[in-house]
Amino acid sequence: MVNYRPFFDMKDTPVVPSLPRGRILVVSAAVLWSLSGLFKCILKHDTPLRLGLEPVSDLAIAFYRVFFAGLFLLPTLRRRSISFRPAMLAMVACFAAMNLTFVLALTGGKAANAILLQYTAPLWIYLAGIAWLGESPSLQGWTSLLVGLLGVAVLMMGGRQEADLPVIGLGLASGLFYAGVVVFLRVLRDAASNWLTVLNHLGAALVVAPLLFSRGWPSLSPAQLAVLALFGVVQMGLPYVLMAKGLRVVSPQEAGVITLLEPLLNPLFAYLVAPDTEAPTVYTLFGGACIVGALAWRYRPTKQLPAT
């Protein structure tokens, strides 16, 4: 989806996999990331699992998702990796806002819309790179931006038709905040990536905790806590580890194309659990096709001219 090196260049990983195994690791990470819609439906809908008397609240999902992911990733941290720079506070704020707006969009509407709008992040990163980081624009980049924005416009039109525009706005905000996270990761590229990853997840949990306390800390069943732990570990924490290993041999561009599996599979898994509420509309299908197509065009392999 984006240049993954700032996230996953974990130099403490000693074993370099083969290229086919590296691709399998990246595919596995994308599939696990795509499970957010499935977990949301299990926690929020009345399913045969009967996890608890009441559905888990949106804020509880937002807290426990990053909390358990951060705990899972904590063993990857080394003492020598820990550092502090003021920009890290802004990075954590963006990550916390991204997590909160994404979960609110995910739980408030269709999983398809939430994940597709979060995947607009590379479009905003492209604009930020030109405006603030001095990167050169390209025809390929501008084309993907315009097609992606067309997809956003279609999704917003659908949200207006379905009286779901606030949820669409939350999904779009999650993409903007995700872009902010990536920009700060570029600024902080000299810091240890495993430290930044743990800091983002546990910092985001710390931001959500007061909001959860203000509502009254939820009383959850052991089954609900177990599913929330799986949500954090399997859908967030484990994919980071798999991607870190895969990126030792897979290029960021190829990884960006492979992880487009996430916005394709996410709505499918949600639909299988809750077909009555998660069926995609024509707006979702067309708008999603524009966004995914724009990203595929943006990260498609290009021929390199031979050196002279």
Per-residue pLDDT of 260-281, as tens digits, reads 888 888 888 888 888 888 888 8
Residue 52: the pLDDT is 73
Instruction: Look at residue 50 in the predicted model and tell me its pLDDT.
Output: 67
What does residue 35 show for φ and ψ, rounded to 5 degrees?
Answer: -85, 0
Tens digit of pLDDT for each residue in 88-142?
Answer: 999 999 999 999 999 999 988 888 888 888 888 888 888 877 877 677 788 777 8
Say which residue the tokens 């041999």 belong to. Answer: 249
Q: What is the predicted pLDDT for the residue at 137?
A: 80
CA-closest candidate to residue 255, choices 267, 270, 240, 265: 240
Measured between alpha carbons, how far is 246 from 240 in angstroms, rounded to an integer? 10
Q: Which two tokens stand for residue 165?
A: 């525009």
Q: Residue 291: pLDDT above 90?
A: no
Q: How high is the mean pLDDT of the chain?
A: 84
Per-residue pLDDT reduced to its tens digit, 211-234: 999 988 888 889 899 999 999 999
Residue among 49, 44, 42, 41 at smallest CA distance from 59: 44
Rounded distance, CA 256 to CA 278, Å?
26
Average pLDDT for 45-72: 85
Q: Above 50 in pLDDT, residue 294?
A: yes
Whether 147 has a pLDDT exceeding 80, the answer reads yes
> In this predicted structure, what is the pLDDT of residue 9?
53
pLDDT beyond 50 at 251: yes
Q: Which of 25-39, 150-164, 245-259 has the lowest mean pLDDT?
A: 150-164
What per-residue confidence (pLDDT) applies to 302? 60
In the prediction, which pLDDT does 174 show? 93
The Cα–Cα gap between 18 and 3 comes to 21
Across 151-165, 183-197, 207-221, least confident range: 151-165
Q: Judge contact between 16 and 246, C-beta under 8 A.
A: no
Angle CA 69–74–75, to nearest 5: 125
